[in-house]
Copies of this chain bind each other. A is one copy, B any other.
């Protein structure tokens, strides 16, 4: 096998589920501006979060996000901290109404974490449409789903990073807000934001570096919260302060803005959706034509183009040895982070927006050769 072209440029192919690969053009720009941001004589890291240069950085990042997803004006965009996991507390503390349960569509590890946090906070909730009996390899059909009238809100995870499933459409929940954890597929496809009450996402998959949490919230929902919540946990106060109640993660926000510029130059979410589908097809095609050597547990209709999971030779006595060999040999070829999540085992490749097609082609080629040698 010939060495991958990226090894020559000292860049690996990185299939990490997050923090994950960023566009090399963005990293180059960050490098070029690192000691002197556009003639200011400072790094963005060194700037006051209230100076004019950072005002512009923040405004541009917000404008880029609003444009990328055509976010309506009655929605606010917030840059928060704490990751998506912190939203598992913040959303119910702000949006759950007394004696009105949250309806959690339970499809994997991340909804499990959301449920556990609601239990801890004693927030009333119901767990519905669970696909746990399939080890979360499938997704429920929500075509005819209507939440009960007294539901505070519906909680959904659009893309299950660990289990490799993705909702292709979203339920229409009417007057009941739909809250969506989109950490691992936001900005990967067009979206009708008006279907949602609140969307949240950790930045470190499709937006920027870890340490920034994106929240898109329909403004009226922020008024549900009790005023004695900690200030920084109220969407209300974060909206009033424009994400600057205190010092935000300035450098991360700057990079999110650069990623939005990159996405726009690539043709936006419509073009990236097509590119993502093509990249994913390269790998799913190998899985489906490996004569059983590789096995995807996920039905075709709900397969994620972001996180692809598979096993080698299911049932074979040397399955785990083969999977370990796969990870090791791939790394020696410059193909990194292909081990599945520790909770499910197996293998996983994350093919976010910034994953270069060349990396996916190199992986497909490696997979075919590995099957030929070991099948």
Contact = CB atoms under 8 A, between A and B. Distances in A.
A373 to B, nearest CB: 24
Contacts of A43: 22, 27
Contact of A249 (B20, B24, B84, B249): B249
A249 to B, nearest CB: 3
Given A117-B230, A120-B231, A251-B211, A31 B34 contact: yes
Interface in A221-236: 227-233
A231 B117 contact: yes
A246 B121 CA distance: 18
A204 B10 CA distance: 31
Interface string A30-70: 11001110011111011111010000000000000000000
Interface stretch (A11-19, A167-175, A292-300, A322-330): A11-19
Nearest to A81: B81
Contacts of A88: 230
Contacts of A19: 45-49, 247, 250
Contact of A247 (B7, B46, B210): B210
Given A14-B42, A16-B51, A17-B48, A204 B247 contact: yes
Contact of A10 (B17, B41, B248): B41
Nearest to A342: B50
A31 B90 CA distance: 35
A141 interface: no
A21 interface: yes
Interface in A184-236: 202, 204, 209-212, 227-233
Given A34-B31, A41-B7, A85 B16 contact: no
Contacts of A145: none
A82 interface: yes
Contacts of A51: 16, 337
Interface of A: 6-7, 10-12, 14, 16-22, 24, 27-28, 30-31, 34-36, 39-43, 45-49, 51, 81-86, 88-90, 93, 117, 120-122, 202, 204, 209-212, 227-233, 245-252, 255, 334, 336-337
Interface centre among A40, A48, A89, A334 (most CB of B within 10 A): A48
Nearest to A204: B247
A255 B250 CA distance: 14
Given A17-B48, A86-B232, A89-B232, 4 more contacts: A19-B48, A19-B247, A82-B82, A210-B248
Q: How many copies does the complex hold?
A: 2
Nearest to A16: B48
Interface centre among A35, A82, A211, A336 (most CB of B within 10 A): A211
B120 A250 contact: no
Contacts of A14: 41-42, 46-47
A83 B42 CA distance: 22
A255 B49 CA distance: 18
Nearest to A255: B45
Contacts of A228: 120-122
A96 to B, nearest CB: 13
A8 B28 CA distance: 24
Given A42-B12, A204-B247, A89 B48 contact: no
A49 B210 contact: yes
